Structure 1
């Protein structure tokens, strides 16, 4: 007889907020969780069944940790893939598969994958040095992205002209055509080992202009149903082309001419899906568990309008975190606060998120704007 979900230990590479929320869901299934993270005070430390302080990029550390688990997953892509490949060869289940993580780790390979699989994306060129950038075929202004190790807006810059090349990354990058877009949107798709696929409704995102990371998210979208369906189909096509098992977040631009272009993908629970905890019948975290344990996928429908706000550390504050005006926002109906257990704050660090739900979309947005200007993370 096949083992039950509670009999299969789950190893998580990375002990940040995504791992924390995944564990909070895993507890409901009596899943034993093991976490590896380089931070001795990682958010997962006190809620996992087993916590190991160590490097997630070191072969031996990842390999030896992985041997303790039955299923291994990630909450960040920067992990040692060679160790995961070896664990797969020895019969361990790794989801997303190591080959998927390898593809995602390199934005150049990722963009090439889009091109080869007819996934709509902006024109791009792979460059290795600043000299390559000077001879680039993409006209100024353009977007420059590090091929590896960029996250949360880091490793991305706009190059307006030749004068900006002095400050450009001197490392392997991709140059992307600057997209004239109306809105950034995202679709999260889940796929289990049986090949069953489900998408969450498309969401609309607003980004912090300084930190270049999601600050405000609205679900579900009010774009035309035809465009939303197109976005969901693109996400499904990528998941199928990758043959992924697990969750995949697909970020896209809605261009001013109505076209959709894929920006980037992430093979794990994602910031663009946090609102699903209160706003949808199944959350992205439960859906990820269902996917990697090869269980039936849950109902992704929206229950009501949901707004998600990232709680970022305020500029000018660094030290032990304090949450200013928490009582004021908790006095409002439909406000759900999620703090990530991070002791120290610094400017733009993700310290938590708040979801606001309301059957009236405009009221939800009004409440969310109040929360956004009222609740502050200081020190």
Structure 2
């Protein structure tokens, strides 16, 4: 039995539903409600819920396998799934016993899709600061949070929200708070009409409400530890899997077309130029895949996630996966030409994948991570490669 084989039936179901609706949700910039319903009914939403909390106890490798498979047919669905799993992992690792008992079994049953609220006006997606304060109100903690981007927010059953800790002395003292939908007043404050990633429906929102103390995840002001150990690693690994899956899916569709009778007339498979371009694309995908799988093995065995070599590797994965996946599909556009690389009605869907992957370098900007890596390298003069 392979690592992901016990999830094959669930993945096949969700992939089929996602593929059937992907073109419509992309065109309308609409959330993939049918794919989410399939993730609920198959209980794929509970992938990372530990066995002790009623889930299957899926691993990081399982997360990558499933996300890649989803990304091959719809990158938006893959990103939605990976980001949900990031939230689940944070609760599993840092949630108090009462929160775990309240939330994780429900996630395992497919009842809870978790949204992430980390962006903020003026700071973008920077994880480790917050300008919005969490205020004490008797036994409760009051939340009032605006976010310019909340992936799938209108469809989430609950949210993990970053906000400044009560009585915090600086913007770096950040809490992570769980809030159920019925604990909040939710206002969608704008629309979502992007170039790609349209089905993530990542609208701006304002969330106001109050939660009990036990819904704070980890210690007050301790979100940096959660970000280092869970949020950043699962973001970079999950995103990379979605991007690589999307690029590999487009490449596979092109190769199948090239081997067809119509494709052979168009591509002339014996052409050295075609063969060289196909080889270069495969090299990009294999390199990104190798880096992703190596990073997973390092994270699964790391005793100190804050160590510079580990953090450097995670940032490098995000940068290279974003760039190589997009470059691979850019080369596919050149290879298949106007009809199949640029027009929206091509069955190869290269144009949609190109638009989706253009977001990869911007999703927590690559330049920001390069600056972080520059600082991290100065802390590792021995160049310890993870």
Higher strand share: 1
TM-score normalised over the length of structure 2:
0.29
Q: Which has the higher contact order (CA 8 A, sep 6+)?
A: 2
